[in-house]
Structure 1
């Protein structure tokens, strides 16, 4: 029998996590994402060769530009208003109902805004009960990683992943879909939060301020950027813009390769606030030279900090570096770095990763950097479905209906939470 998409019944071993009576493995997954301000739904299919096909997806985003950023209560209300209707229209469009249900319901369980997460999780539980299908709560950041893996086509475990978003900035070693080790975490705020706050200090406006900051910097002429690069910003007296900013964690008294490698982004905003104190609203003018200089050099230094910390990790754990006693070759056999998350859409970060990461020196000539298409870096339900399918394949676990949202969910503890049952 063929469905409306021409799906075939495929015979597989009974150990498949979703095998039905008769031994058919092919299954469809309905995925819901609502961790922040995006209401999203997607339908995916997985076949016997573990090939994942995206059937359809839909998304609606809360506009927060008028209030200068996301307000959690407003995001929760938006999901309550929008998500059920979005999913209902999506199900009708794809002829999904009680007679033709998907085989599993997947939704974002965390991390994220608790109200937003709860809206998606409750809807997913209702569909699970109505259709009698299993439920799986998915880790949001695993979704970003697996989206990039799906986009690369050929990437396999183990690999490294740089997660750069509004909620997280970390370097992770992934040995499988359920075995993760955090190599670098942030000691304060995520890079996305830092860029948003700095952009707001500079008078940048929009629904996604970090994205608007990137767009603004791109509009600065190459000639101006060359001129801006000539000035030293390590001390205020060394440039005519009265601007001082230094690379975090690079003081002479700190070791070159520390025991614990961390990111630090909070200082960028505080430095900018100090510079702007008492200087009035002049940065509201996009053609203001001070604004151009500060925006350009600040974004450069934020990404220089990411590159610097990554290179320290490569030096410490890489196979080709024996300069320091702390080197341990933990990255032996690693040939790939996946970059994902909303900040991975930034054009300048992409350029710097491809030109300034010293991967060949520390890991060898076969090291590859995988950065997905810009459209795949933002939140979507497709990534939740892909991550859920990969997690299910690796763990054979789903969830019971008692699970709650997990606002803070470390990626290295993806298995060590309540509510899992063997499928």
Structure 2
């Protein structure tokens, strides 16, 4: 008998639904919210309202594309934490409603655990154990994956996440939100060594990106008007080079400490072309096995929730209807 799971992701500003059957993703539908660009960042109230509007058509499309019946789904999975509380609440309550109406098991999934396990969606998937550098708008972590449900956080950011650093420095350059992808775009034509910015030094395998933002801010304040526009490519390339250097430096330390040479990246920032190229290049130099999820599984998506729920189902890790979403939850 096949095992089919409907998964819902609503942690921030993407409403997504996916169907997983026997560990294979049959559909992964994502509705984005363009309205936040007008405000220079995600507005929680608007995000939750958009989730309410999007969730029914997104789930319906995912079910139809997978060519299955909702009544035949074995379990309902959802992102329980972390994220914007209002956004999480929409997905949580919708998942609970379906589970209650159809008498289906409920599976709560941690968003960051799901980002790591996105590497298991596409073959060839990494064998365990592996190290994963998870980089997103809200989190930056180095995780040692012992098994699908045994993940150990070795280090994380003590202030801003890498994705936040990309977006906030982009704003200093006068780029619209979301600025991270634009920094990546302009960096392709720039000189990464044109300008030097601060790299914060923090203990062990942790990260800090607040010093980089301050360094860029003070640098730009000393420049003449229109400097950023005239040197956009080089500025973006230098900022991106600094962030990537900080990320990969810590990753190399993690390899040295653990002896694990099977490495993955995950999270929204893993869609960054500069990071993907630098990661693969370093991997070849060091003799690592490297894995990167396809772009559609890097940003927030329900497929990663579904694959995580698949392993949780097999381990009988279910939740009851009393579970609540959490904006900040440990693993």
Task: Indicate whether the TM-score tops 0.5.
Answer: yes
Identify the structure with the greater helix proportion: 2
Q: Which residue of 2 aligns with 1:369?
A: 290
Q: How does 1:6-405 map to 2 (within 5 A)?
A: 24=1, 26-46=2-22, 52-63=23-34, 64-91=36-63, 94=67, 96-97=69-70, 100-206=71-177, 208-220=178-190, 225=191, 229=193, 233=196, 245-249=197-201, 258=203, 260-277=204-221, 282=226, 285=229, 288-289=230-231, 291-315=232-256, 317=257, 330-331=258-259, 334-356=260-282, 360=286, 365=287, 367-393=288-314, 395-405=315-325
Shift of 1:91: 4.1
Distance (whole Å) between structure 2 residues aligned to residue 213 and residue 197 of structure 1: 11
Distance 1:283 1:134, change over 3 A: farther
Distance (whole Å) between structure 1 residues aligned to residue 254 and residue 19 of structure 2: 38
SS at match of 2:121: helix
- TM-score, scaled relative to structure 2: 0.92
Shift of 1:281: 5.9
Larger RCO: 1 or 2 (CA < 8 Å, sep 6+): 2
Structure 2 residue ranges without an equivalent (≥5): none
Distance (whole Å) between structure 1 residues aligned to residue 282 and residue 125 of structure 2: 24
- Equivalenced residue count is 329
SS at match of 2:188: helix
Shift of 1:59: 1.5
SS at match of 1:398: coil
Shift of 1:301: 0.8
Shift of 1:209: 1.6
- Residue range with higher mean Cα deviation, 163-172 or 86-95: 86-95
The answer to whether the 8 Å contact 2:189/2:233 transfers is no
SS at match of 2:299: coil
Distance (whole Å) between structure 2 residues aligned to residue 337 and residue 127 of structure 1: 37
Distance 1:342 1:28, change over 3 A: same
- Per-residue CA distance 1:221-249 (angstroms, 9 max, x = gap): xxxx2xx63x563xxxxxxxxxxx23221
SS at match of 2:239: helix
The answer to whether the 8 Å contact 2:17/2:59 transfers is yes
Q: Which of the two has higher C-alpha Rg?
A: 1
- TM-score, scaled relative to structure 1: 0.73
Distance 1:165 1:232, change over 3 A: closer
